[in-house]
Amino acid sequence: MRWNMRMKAAEAGIWKSTELRRMLAEAGLDISAGKMSGLWTGTPTTIRLDDLDVICFVLGCTPADLLICEPEAVAARKPATKTTANARTASSGRRRTPGRSRSQPPA
């Protein structure tokens, strides 16, 4: 997902993070300068749902307007398939014997 708050703020005529921070405070949401910087630059680490509700209220938008899905990023995170894993094992010169598992650790 990509965070789109800065674009939504611009659409609402808000061009500075300090201006949005002031508006959020007036709506009851006090955000630290560091957290506001993360929200503004598009790199928020976390956001509480009730905070998201206030942000949407101030910007006149919905959460769907702020969160942009990126299916390509999800596809890139997929684990390797068995075919890819087998190719890696073959290229390393080691072979796995089908049906054999690792030995159990000592009790």
pLDDT digits (tens, 9 = 90+) for 38-71: 999 988 888 999 999 999 999 999 999 998 888 8
Q: Which domains does the chain have, with CATH numbers?
A: 2-68 (1.10.260)
Q: What is the pLDDT of residue 91?
A: 54
pLDDT band at 76 (very low <50, low <70, confident <90, very high): confident
pLDDT band at 104 (very low <50, low <70, confident <90, very high): confident
CB 17 within 8 A of CB 85: no
Quick check: pTM over 0.75?
Answer: no
Partners of 3 in the β-ladder = 67
